[in-house]
Structure 1
Amino acid sequence: MASQSIEIRSLYKIFGPRGRDFVEAVTKGMSKTELNKEHGHVLGLKDINISIPGGSITVIMGLSGSGKSTLIRHINRLIDPTSGEVLYGGTDVCKMNEEELREFRRHKTAMVFQKFGLLPHRTVLQNTVYGLEIQGVPKSEREARADIWIKRVGLEGFSNHYPNQLSGGMQQRVGLARALTNDADILLMDEAYSALDPLIRVDMQTVLLDLQKELKKTVVFITHDLDEALRLGDKIAILRDGEVIQQGTAADIVLNPANDYIEAFVKEVNRGRVIRIDALMEPLSNPAGESSVRIPGSHNVEEGMRVMTENNVTQATVTGENGMPAGRVSLEGLVRCLVRTND
Structure 2
Amino acid sequence: MSNKASITSLSDPSAIANYNFAYLDEQTKRMIRRAILKGIAIPGYQVPFASREMPMPYGWGTGGVQVTASILGPDDVLKVIDQGSDDTTNAVSIRAFFAKMARVETTTQTKAASVIQTRHRIPEEPLSEDQVIVFQVPIPEPLRFLEPRETETRKMHAVEDYGLMHVKLYEDIAQKGHIATNYAYPVKVKGRYVMDPSPTPKFDNPKMHQMEALQLYGAGREMRIYAIPPYTDVVSLDFEDYPFEIQAFEEPCALCGGTGVYLDEVILDDKGERMFVCSDSDYCEDRRAQGFRGPMAPDANHDQEVPA
TM-score range, shorter chain: under 0.3
For the pair shown, which has the larger CA radius of gyration, 1 or 2?
A: 1
Using the size of structure 2 for normalisation, the TM-score is 0.27
Q: Which has the higher helix share?
A: 1
Using the size of structure 1 for normalisation, the TM-score is 0.25
Q: Which has the higher strand share?
A: 1
